[in-house]
Amino acid sequence: MTNVQLIEDQIQHLDNQSFAALRNWFIEYEHSRWDRQIATDSEAGKLDFLIDEALAEHRAGKTRPL
């Protein structure tokens, strides 16, 4: 059995309260991983193209005030 299969098996045996706690933890964990990845990509310049595209659209008059 793989690690994932073992985890799946354990999850299937959780009571509702434990499952809800795991779900909430996992959602927060996933968000923090996403935040770290975005920060890493931003620091590495991998998202600069998004800034460039947004500025180009703004200069072309394709934006509106918030």
Kindly list the distances between the CA atom of residue 42 and the CA atoms of 11, 23, 36, 38, 53, in Å, as whole numbers in the listed order: 35, 28, 10, 6, 15
First to last CA, the chain: 53
What confidence score (pLDDT) does residue 1 get?
A: 87
pLDDT tens per residue across all 66 residues of the chain:
899 999 999 999 999 999 999 999 999 999 999 999 999 999 999 999 999 999 999 999 999 999
Give 52's Cβ-side CA count (13 Å radius): 5
Can you read off the two tokens belonging to residue 46? 């991998």
Phi, psi of 14 (to 5 degrees): -75, 145
What confidence score (pLDDT) does residue 62 get?
A: 97
Residue ranges with strand state E in the chain: none
> Does the pTM of the predicted model rise above 0.75?
no
